[in-house]
Amino acid sequence: MKLILREPSAEVRALASAAGFLLDLLLAGLLVFALVDRLAPPQDLPWKPFSLNQPIGLATAGKLARVGADPAACRAALREGGVRFTEGETRETGYCSTRNTVRASSRLSPAAPVMTCPLALGYALWERQVLAPAAREIMSSRLTGVDHYGTYACRTIYGRPGERPSAHARAQALDVAGFRFADGRRATVAADFQADSEEGRFVQAARNGACRVFGTVLGPDYNAAHRDHFHLEVQGWRICA
């Protein structure tokens, strides 16, 4: 019997060509992914683990939100970053709650306020990757303290009756008023936010860096109620004002 080989049809040739093209694209994509995975900074890659020891990058905000949403992962990230903490006491009163809170070691004064784990993680990142470097670069000194007005307060927004609950009612917000340095100087939001000085540049750098970490940052540019502090929330609307 004589075997007769037929020329592939145009449709078959087109399918084979398309399959080859798609395979080439897949291989090229895998090569690009491997190069990016190897060469790009881990803070810019969403599939790399979150770490407090990494500078703030393109993927940091997303990774911080993902880790913060898991209470166990949040606490693991604090431990891996060398942040000592104790569990916060849980209280439930109407719309107010201290659920999923910790008291973490930090430069905050008053020390170790109760705050949700995501807020503690965001603050630790801000202190380590924004405040400490800015103190060295702008103030030529070491950051020794961060003064605040509190975290948890069972109240509505601005304490007005009938308003929705404040983020402070769930220990999800931190109000930062000023900063202290090893050389004895201080920088405050109230006195230095608009100042043309090293202190003023530091306070501005602190606010701008906070906007890369926290979901909501409110300060003097927002309204008079925030003329003397930065209101910081990890969760919430993406606002930097």
CB–CB of 194/214 below 8 Å? no
Q: Which residue, among 174, 190, 179, 188, has the nearest Cα to 227 in the 3D structure?
A: 190
Which two structure tokens, joined as six digits, stand for 55?
């500078």
Q: How remote is the C-alpha of 10 from its chain's centroid?
A: 56
d(C-alpha 237, C-alpha 214), whole Å: 10
Secondary structure (3-state) at 98:
coil
Q: Which ranges in the chain belong to alpha helices (H)? A: 10-39, 60-68, 71-80, 117-126, 132-134, 189-192, 198-210
- pLDDT per residue of the chain (241 residues) written in tens, 0 to 9: 555 556 666 676 666 676 666 666 666 665 565 655 665 788 999 999 999 999 999 999 999 999 999 999 999 999 999 999 999 999 999 999 999 999 999 999 999 999 999 999 999 999 999 999 999 999 999 999 999 999 999 999 988 888 899 999 999 999 999 999 999 999 999 999 999 999 999 999 999 999 999 999 999 999 999 999 999 998 766 899 9
CB–CB of 232/174 below 8 Å? yes
pLDDT score of 25: 67
Q: How remote is the C-alpha of 197 from its chain's centroid?
A: 27
Secondary structure (3-state) at 134:
helix
pLDDT score of 3: 52
d(C-alpha 239, C-alpha 241), whole Å: 6
pLDDT score of 35: 57
pLDDT score of 12: 60
CB–CB of 122/68 below 8 Å? yes
pLDDT score of 160: 87
The residues with which 92 forms a beta bridge, in sequence order, are 97
